[in-house]
Amino acid sequence: MIHFHLRGATYENPIHKSTVKGMENPIHSHGDVMTSYLGLLCQGKSDFDHIEPFRKDPVFQTCLGVRKVPSSPTLRQRLDAAAQTMNANWNEILLQESADLFRNVKAPVTGLTAGEHTMIPLDIDVSPFDNSGTKKEGVSLTYKGTFGYAPIFAYLGQEVYRECAASGRQHAQSEGWR
C-alpha cells in the first residue's frame, strides 16, 4: 500500500529528483531511502537501527518498491544531509505527498461546525491507561499516579489518524516522544 500510494517504483515521486548536497550520485536513491524510512514509520518504528532486519527481507523491499534497503548509517546520514540542504525541499514534498495520499484514498476528514464556519481540528493528547496489578512489560507510573501505558492519540477532524503506544512514564511534557 505504501509503495502504491507514494508512486515509488515509477520514480515520479519528487524526492527521487531532489538533490542533497554532497550526495549527487548516491548508491541508494533518495526515494529509496525515504520510502524505506516511511516503511519503518508505518510499522511504528522510528529508530534508524530498526531498518537493519529489513535489509535482508525481500518482502519489505518488494512491497515498498525500493531497489535496495539502506543501512541504518546511510538512513541517518541521508536524512541529516537532506535536513541541512535547503534546496532538497523534502519537508514540502512530504507534506504534499501526505495531502495527496489523503485525497487519493478518499480518507474522511469530518469537520466540526461552529456557527457559520466548518473547522477541522487537530487534537493530539496522551491518554494514560490503568494497568495496575498486571505484569505487562513497559508498565510504569503515569502522570495520573497509576501504573500503566500512556498512548498518544491524534484526531484530525472527527477521525483517529494516529495512535502511538508508550510506557506510562513517557509524556510529551517530560522526556518527550521518540
d(CA 15, CA 117): 36
Percent over 90 (pLDDT), the chain: 15
* Separation of first and last alpha carbons in the chain: 25
Assess whether pLDDT exceeds 50 at residue 116.
yes
Mean pLDDT along residues 22-47: 82
Place of cell 474522511: 108
Phi, psi of 55 (to 5 degrees): -65, -25
Assess whether pLDDT exceeds 50 at residue 135.
yes
Assess whether pLDDT exceeds 50 at residue 145.
yes
If you average pLDDT over every residue of the chain, what do you get? Answer: 77
Mean pLDDT along residues 93-101: 76
d(CA 155, CA 134): 29
pLDDT at 164: 59
Of the pLDDT bands very low, low, confident and very high (cuts 50, 70, 90), residue 149 is confident
> How many CA atoms within 13 Å lie on the side-chain side of 59?
1
Of the pLDDT bands very low, low, confident and very high (cuts 50, 70, 90), residue 102 is confident
Is the full-model pTM beyond 0.85? no
* Strand stretches in 52-169, DSSP E: 112-114, 117-119, 122-126, 140-141, 147-148, 152-156, 159-164
Greater pLDDT, 32 or 71: 71
Cβ-Cβ contacts under 8 Å for 165 (sequence gap 6 or more)? 44, 149, 151
CB 114 within 8 A of CB 72: no
d(CA 80, CA 95): 18
Q: pLDDT tens-digit profile of 51-82?
A: 999 999 999 998 888 889 999 999 999 888 88
